Amino acid sequence: MSDYTNEIKKRRTFAIISHPDAGKTTLTEKFLLYGGAINTAGSVKGKQNSKHAVSDWMEIEKQRGISVTSSVLQFNYDGYCINILDTPGHQDFSEDTYRTLMAADSAVMVIDASKGVEAQTKKLFKVCLLRDIPIFTFINKMDREANDPFDLLDEIETELGIKTCPVNWPIGSGKEFKGVYDRNTKNITTFKAVSTGGQKEAQTTEISINDPTIDMIIGPDYHRNLHDEIELLDGASDPFDMEAVSHGKLSPVFFGSALTNFGVENFLKHFLDMTTSPLPRKSNIGEIDPIKEDFSAFVFKIQANMNKAHRDRIAFMRICSGKFEAGMEVIHVQGNKKMKLLQPQQLMAQERKIVEEAYAGDIIGVFDPGIFSIGDTLCTSNQKFEFEGIPTFAPEHFARIRQVDTMKRKQFTKGVLQIAQEGAIQIFQEFNTGMEEIIVGVVGVLQFDVLKFRLESEYGVEIRMESLPFEHIRWIMNKGLDLNSIKGITDMKKVKDMKGNPLLLFANPWSIRTLLERNEGLELAEFSRD
């Protein structure tokens, strides 16, 4: 294999999806420790040591107390070059979190063993389904009291609609957590929690399930129970099918404990082995092969520079094919322009550095003088093509905004439009009116604060915000439908987006159902690809 091919083949680009507190940061940190990218646990996130203290623009956000950045961590492990895409959770959950998933080739889903499938996991999972990417499940916190493992698998299957195939199986949980049984090797890895230097860790030994001392080690009850459960699993669970895994139809499941570092390296090894190197991406001229094609990339995120004096931005792009070299000339397809990508940079675990070269699978950030939009394609080939667009995701919070000083109309409109263009907010208008009143939709409520802050600090416009009682939005898919013909219901609003597409806002999911019952043939969609 040539060096070039090897560089691409060894790349693994994935996102970790989970509900806040399931252990995503802890697991990421353990991955980084294995990769030698960090030396001590606690450097990714600690109470005094914010995980966003990794670059200066994030530093600015930190000072403002607002974090809006998703970052990428790159490190090497076991011959692989790994790119982990961070999907911010908690209050900084935003549309960017969804978009980041568009740049991943696979996902790791972390589930808290005592909580099962939670709301944010469901939302992120839906986005993964759009592209049928492989999803690997890590059921975390087995060192704490956990739900029954069969119930957990059942919940994943019914709540998320993906089949599961446990690779290992837990023996007890919490204080009684004895370890896991590996269904391939038929060995048991035992678990014993110890504390070293303030860090919790697991002491492990590996023994065959047929070892005569097993009764003594895990206890006769657990031993008997394990045999019954294995029999049940072998009979009832879906067989391992790599084809189904690679199309996101079957999720390999691993049980472990990130905090005590139990089962993490085993998971990482299996995951890297089973997951995919950069996948071909769809474009308007067919699939773009990551190795055969020259450099191409698409923009999935635009980050405004928080420095007032420089209103420039950073565009993050996922390289889909070929090799990027600093200083090379590329075509910005949507702008129909040849250009050089300026100040290309990459986040290597703890620092931001200028990129000299990067390959398909990598993410780079480049200086954006205000020309890129989300979804734009860059390529070097003479045959220009466009990658499939990034969907617009449904906002869940809505507010009507107005400028306080009516003389500042121009700045207000300009600011709102620019911030919407970056993809930080979505804007809508009442169906039958102009731009006097703007309805803003966001995925995470923090975006409202960001909007208010940025309009004041960057555009000198103070705004009033009135929150609206809507939580659901649907695009109308019937082409050319007259909105006036829709038989409405009371808690619904007809709006249009900036491209003039008609949409409906609803206060609750029942209204959506009622509306569909009343209007036969009406087609509504949760994502828009226009």
Chain residues that interact with ligand G4P, rule: CB under 6 A: 18, 20-26, 45, 47, 89, 140-141, 143-144, 257-259
Nearer to ligand G4P, 267 or 298 (CB): 267
Annotated binding residue 22? yes
Q: Known binder of ligand: residue 141?
A: yes
251 is in an annotated binding site: no
Phi then psi dihedrals of residue 11, to 5 deg = -85, 140
Taking the complex as a whole, how short is the minimal distance between the CB of residue 109 and ligand G4P, in angstroms?
11
Does 237 count as an annotated binding residue? Answer: no
397 is in an annotated binding site: no
Cβ closest to ligand G4P, residue 94 vs residue 277: 94
CB of 87 to ligand G4P, least distance (A): 10
Token representation of residue 206: 């590996």
Q: In the bound complex, what is the minimum distance in angstroms from residue 445's beta carbon to ligand G4P?
A: 18
Rounded to a whole number of angstroms, the minimum distance from the CB of residue 195 to ligand G4P is 13
Order of all β-strands in the sheet with 524-525: 463-468, 397-403, 438-442, 426-430, 492-497, 502-506, 472-476, 524-525
Q: What is the C-alpha to C-alpha distance for residues 358 and 363, in angstroms, rounded to an integer? A: 8
3-state secondary structure of 72: strand
Of the pair 261, 392, the CB lying nearest ligand G4P is at 261
> Between residues 91 and 508, which has the closer beta carbon with respect to ligand G4P?
91
Per residue, the 3-state secondary structure of 105-170, as one string, reads CEEEEEEECCCECCHHHHHHHHHHHHHCCCEEEEEECCCCCCCCHHHHHHHHHHHHCCEEEECEEE
Our CB check for ligand G4P shows the closer of 101 and 379 to be: 101
Q: How far is the CB of 91 from ligand G4P (least distance, A)?
A: 12
Q: Is 18 annotated as a binding residue?
A: yes
Find out whether 22 and 33 touch, Cβ atoms under 8 Å. Answer: no
Q: What is the distance between the alpha carbons of residues 170 and 179, in angstroms, rounded to a whole number?
A: 6
The backbone region for 219, taken as left when phi is positive above 0, alpha when psi lies in -120 to 50, beta otherwise, is left
Q: How far is 352 from 365, CA to CA, in rounded Å?
A: 10
89 labelled binding-site residue: yes
Q: Is 424 annotated as a binding residue?
A: no
Nearest to 530 by CA among 458, 475, 452, 453: 475
- Smallest gap from residue 115 Cβ to ligand G4P (A): 11
Instruction: List all residues 6 or more positions away from 198 whose beta carbon is below 8 Å from its beta carbon.
Output: none
Q: Which is nearer to ligand G4P, 257 or 377 (CB)?
A: 257
**Binding site, annotated residues for GTP:** 18-25, 86-90, 140-143
Give the annotated binding-site residues: 18-25, 86-90, 140-143
